[in-house]
Amino acid sequence: MAIIETTNLTRKYGELVALDNLNLTIEEGSCYGFIGPNGAGKTTTIKILATLLKPSSGQASIDGKIIGFQNRMIRPLIGYVPDFMGAYEDMVVTEYLEFFAAAYNIHGEQRRKVVGDVLELTDLSYKATAEVNSLSRGMQQRLSVARVLLHDPKVLLMDEPASGLDPRARIEMRELLKELRRMGKTILISSHILPELAELCNVVGIIERGKLLFSGSVREALQRARMGHVIHVGVADRIQKAAELLAKVPGVKKVALADVDPTVLQAGATGNGAGAKPQVIHVTFDDAAGQSFTDLPNVLVNNGFRITKFSEEAVNLETAFMRLTKGLVQ
């Protein structure tokens, strides 16, 4: 069941089109990673879903309720975590959380219990009496998550929650988000830390210049980005001759010698390799050619070469992001 939906969602700032007919569907219980370069429209999308901005045209809904018309019904359902939290001066952690709990009409013993529960969930109980402004950046981000959990929302909208965090704080934030997902929360999270999104999210969306280029599982994104296999081949000697031989193998699109800037041998080409002693050959193999890249070792061995390395280059979410946003995949 879709809990977040947008239809031709558009937002303009004067002549600048920040969102261009965005059509997005997020299923309940999903952790959706929203990826895009700076200025792509991620924050604008999240702010519209958080009822903080009005769309110029199009429509967005959360749990079937229309943003702009049913905001009072939507706000109890969502928790918005911006990339930077603000707090009143001289306010301690429990005061900060009790203030926001009161804003959600949580009072008395229930409020004390809820505040204690979210402090325990975010591992901040030992900082209950500390001033908010004295907390580290990572602790402040965890406190920001604790704040939005007070009213137990169904949907969490998180804009760069790991921005500016040190490695330990990022790991702690990632583990917290995993726990929230296990609790059944639907999470929309934007981030530039792509390896962590690949581990955390089951679905990703790639946006550029306000247009959604891709939306689907991480596996589908990697398949879209894969343009044949890239194989790293090492030989004991005569690496230039080995590269020339591999360039002639059916199915090989391109052969590149590592550490040469850049020495690339197209199929059938030759090079003298004077003065250069590269260690590895990068072979781009076209899957559509009807050949198998597993035949490459036999070609080398049968021609007297001793193989020291043979490995396939992994396509990760960073590779997918770079290729999809550059338009290399149609």
Q: How confident is the model at residue 273 (pLDDT cuts 50, 70, 90)?
A: very low
Q: What is the mean pLDDT of residues 168-186?
A: 89
pLDDT confidence of residue 247:
85
The pLDDT assigned to 85 comes to 76
The domain that holds 260 is classified in CATH as 3.30.70
Q: What angle do CA 298, 301, 269 make, to 5 degrees?
A: 85
Res 113: pLDDT = 96
In a domain, residue 323? The reply is: no
Q: Is residue 329 in some structural domain? A: no
In a domain, 322, yes or no: no
Residues 155 and 72 in one domain: yes
> How many Å apart are CA 28 and CA 237, to the nearest integer?
56
Q: What is the mean pLDDT of residues 38-66?
A: 94
Residue 294 shares a structural domain with residue 257: yes
Write out pLDDT tens, residues 140-151. 989 999 999 999
Are 216 and 73 contained in the same domain? yes
Instruction: Give residue 265's pLDDT.
Output: 40
- 143-157, 185-199, 305-319 — which is least confidently predicted? 305-319
Is the domain of 215 the same as that of 234? no
Q: How many domains does the chain have?
A: 2
Domain that holds residue 56: 2-224
200 and 53 housed in the same domain: yes
Q: Does 188 share its domain with 233?
A: no
Q: Is 1 exposed, middle or buried (0-12, 13-18, 19+ CB in 10 A)?
A: exposed
Q: What is the mean pLDDT of the chain?
A: 84
**Is residue 11 predicted with pLDDT exceeding 80?**
yes
Q: Are residues 171 and 78 in the same domain?
A: yes
How far apart, in whole angstroms, are the C-alpha atoms of residue 64 and residue 241?
A: 64
Give the pTM: 0.74
